[in-house]
Amino acid sequence: MGVSGEDWGYGFDYFTMSFEGVKRRIRRFREWLTEWLIYFAIVFGPWAFGTTQEWSIRVMNCVGYALGLMVLVKPLLRSRGRRSLRWESLSAGNEPVRWQRRERQFTRLLGLGTCCILLYCLISAWNARVIYHPNEWSFEYRNAITWLPHSYDQAASWDIFWQYLGLAGFFWGLRDWLLTLTPKEAERFQNEGSPSQGGSRLPVRLRRLFWVLAVNGTVLAIQGLVQRCEGGYKLLWVVVPRLHISDLDEFGPYAYRSNAAQYFNMLWPAVLGFWWAYVSSPRRKRAEENVVPRNHVGALLPCALIMAICPIVSSSRGGAIVLGINLILAAGIFMVAKWRSRWTTKAMIFLLAGTVIGGGALLGWKALAPRLEKIHEGYEDREGVFVAGRYMADDNPVFGLGPGSFDTMYQLYRRSEADEWQAYMHNDWLQTLITFGWVGGILIGFAGVLTLSHWFWSGGINGNKFFVMLLWMSLGGCLVHARFDFPFQVHSVLALFLVICAVLSCLSRRQLI
């Protein structure tokens, strides 16, 4: 007895429906796993002693690989004829085709920049000129293609490639997650034509991200402040740093106080900007006028103030200077935002800035003042390192010495064996030029400028302009730090920098439809 064509059709439809149900469950699990991996990376990075050890870097690399893989498999899990609603498709205004085309162009350019940086590191490691044997202090020379990027320390360049690959996966996984509407937002948009919820224009995922950043940063700051007041030097009260000279060297989980200051100087302006974007939302104001119960957004302001105190208490000279610059800029931004407000509001802005300076001075001025008096001596001591670094950059201007090779090659450029063997240049701008050359530097600069300019010319999540200014200020402070220190050589600081870059690459001045 044969099977009719109609029965075959029913069987195929049943199989298709079952397969779509499986894909739907996998999509939900993928979204859940992506969100919690992002939260884990944000929390784990600084608490794992700044992610400066090999084991912690490997953990962060694996998280980045997982996030990147989930971005790559996302198209395979898409239902036939159905696409996830994304914020860039809802911020097109009156010219949807034009702005959606711009967003696609931006994504392709940024993806191209990311691939070029990774390819540059990959070629440098594969086309290595030297294999360094640290146990023997010897160099094994290889035949390399000199017109391609090459490295003078193959192992170090491979480490940088795998680290950057994980960071790329983290960046793109976070960006894709932020730009995708949650199921509730998508349902609200389909039913009411408005995806925003809870009286706020900011998406749910963006709010969750900043709450995790704020709470984690505040707890981190409190731990560092308590430990500094107690006078202990063990990292998180459990680990003695390998290079411990004085009780002022460490702060919180960071063995180097300046890295802690760099982390907090990036975090507090970002949290402050998020607080402003939330409280100034037109929809939230209308909701409050209708006597909607207030949420806990007011807690973000004291969180930002606590984190802002830390660069002073850490006794980092560069951290205190950058904090002062950022406080002036933040006060100026809020003065412009509240220009037509009453004088009491403007006075409150300066009162908050004074609270940060006063609180920091009360807890940390005694240790910071002597170091500020010797600031010129500190930078004069590094001038010899900078001179050697300029020679290193001049010897290999096009492709540099190879990613990660500075530590190995610096020994050959020291003025004498009595000079300290530096692991970092204490100038990330110069160290990038030394290791990547001007070709690699252009690729990194291209990706950075593209990210910072997204708000002006592409679509995405509508971003309050003062929120965006504070995010720019946050990254600008880190770039100033990079002129006199090495924030981008510390994984947790670099990861936070990329988190803020990912947020900026999603924000747009275009209004929602």
pLDDT at 391 over 80: yes
CA-closest candidate to residue 217, choices 132, 128, 328, 299: 299
Q: Is 151 helix (H, G, I), strand (E, B) or coil?
A: coil
Q: Is 422 helix (H, G, I), strand (E, B) or coil?
A: coil
Average pLDDT, the chain: 85
| pLDDT for 24 | 78
- Assigned token pair, 374: 């010797």
**Residues constituting the chain:** 513
- Assigned token pair, 211: 């709450």
| pLDDT for 292 | 41
Q: Give the residue-averaged pLDDT of 72-81.
A: 73
Q: Give the residue-averaged pLDDT of 336-354.
A: 84
Model pLDDT for residues 164-199, shown as the tens digit of each residue = 999 999 999 999 999 988 888 877 776 665 555 444
Q: Give the residue-averaged pLDDT of 138-155.
A: 92
pLDDT at 276 over 50: yes
Q: What are phi and psi of 254, to 5 degrees?
A: -95, 130
Rounded CA-CA distance 142/126 in Å is: 11
Who has greater pLDDT, 47 or 96?
A: 47
| pLDDT for 86 | 80
| pLDDT for 288 | 45
pLDDT > 90: what percent of the chain? 53
Is residue 236 left, alpha or beta, with left meaning phi > 0 and alpha meaning psi from -120 to 50? left
Distance of CA 160 to the CA centre of its chain: 17
Q: What are phi and psi of 200, to 5 degrees?
A: -125, 140
pLDDT class for 422, splitting at 50, 70, 90? confident
CA-closest candidate to residue 41, choices 203, 179, 169, 158: 169
3-state SS of 260-301 is: HHHHHHHHHHHHHHHHHHHHCCHHHHHHHHCCCCCCHHHHHH
Contacts of 128 (CB under 8 A, 6+ apart): 142, 144, 150, 151, 152, 153, 154, 157, 402
Model pLDDT for residues 218-255, shown as the tens digit of each residue = 999 999 999 888 877 778 888 877 765 566 678 889 98
Exposed e or buried b per residue across 371-402, where buried means at least 16 C-beta atoms within 10 angstroms of its C-beta? beeeeeeeeeebeebeebbeebbeebeebbbb
User: Is residue 127 within a helix (H) or strand (E), and if so which, with residue range?
Assistant: none
Q: Is 132 helix (H, G, I), strand (E, B) or coil?
A: strand
| pLDDT for 286 | 46
Cα–Cα–Cα angle for 380, 382, 383, rounded to 5 degrees? 65
Point out which residues pair with 239 in neighbouring strands.
235
Q: Considering only 76-80, 269-273, 310-314, 457-461, which range has the smallest mean pLDDT?
A: 76-80
Q: Give the residue-averaged pLDDT of 337-341.
A: 81
Contacts of 370 (CB under 8 A, 6+ apart): none
Task: Please count the CA atoms within 13 angstroms of the CA of 431 that sit on its side-chain side.
Answer: 24
- Hey, how many other C-beta atoms are within 10 angstroms of the C-beta on 299? 14
Sign of CA dihedral 483, 236, 41, 404: positive
Who has greater pLDDT, 6 or 150?
A: 150
| pLDDT for 97 | 62
Model pLDDT for residues 438-482, shown as the tens digit of each residue = 999 999 999 999 999 999 887 788 888 999 999 999 999 999 999
Point out which residues pair with 458 in neighbouring strands.
none
* Residue labelled with tokens 């499986």: 22
What value does the CA radius of gyration of the chain take, rounded to a whole number of Å?
A: 25
Q: Is 169 helix (H, G, I), strand (E, B) or coil?
A: helix
- Hey, how many other C-beta atoms are within 10 angstroms of the C-beta on 131? 15
User: Is residue 414 within a helix (H) or strand (E), and if so which, with residue range?
Assistant: none
Who has greater pLDDT, 18 or 365?
A: 365
Q: What is the pTM of this model?
A: 0.91
Q: Give the residue-averaged pLDDT of 35-49.
A: 96
Rounded CA-CA distance 498/347 in Å is: 34
| Burial (Cβ within 10 Å: 0-12, 13-18, ≥19) of residue 262 | buried
Distance of CA 411 to the CA centre of its chain: 31
- DSSP letter at 78 equals P
Q: Is 83 helix (H, G, I), strand (E, B) or coil?
A: coil
* Residue labelled with tokens 């802005």: 349
Quick check: 334 and 349 in contact, CB under 8 A? yes
| pLDDT for 194 | 58
Ranges 27-31, 69-73, 507-511, most confident = 69-73
CA-closest candidate to residue 171, choices 122, 111, 85, 258: 111
| Burial (Cβ within 10 Å: 0-12, 13-18, ≥19) of residue 36 | exposed
Rounded CA-CA distance 27/18 in Å is: 14
CA-closest candidate to residue 265, choices 321, 211, 196: 321
- Assigned token pair, 486: 């090495």
pLDDT at 2 over 80: no
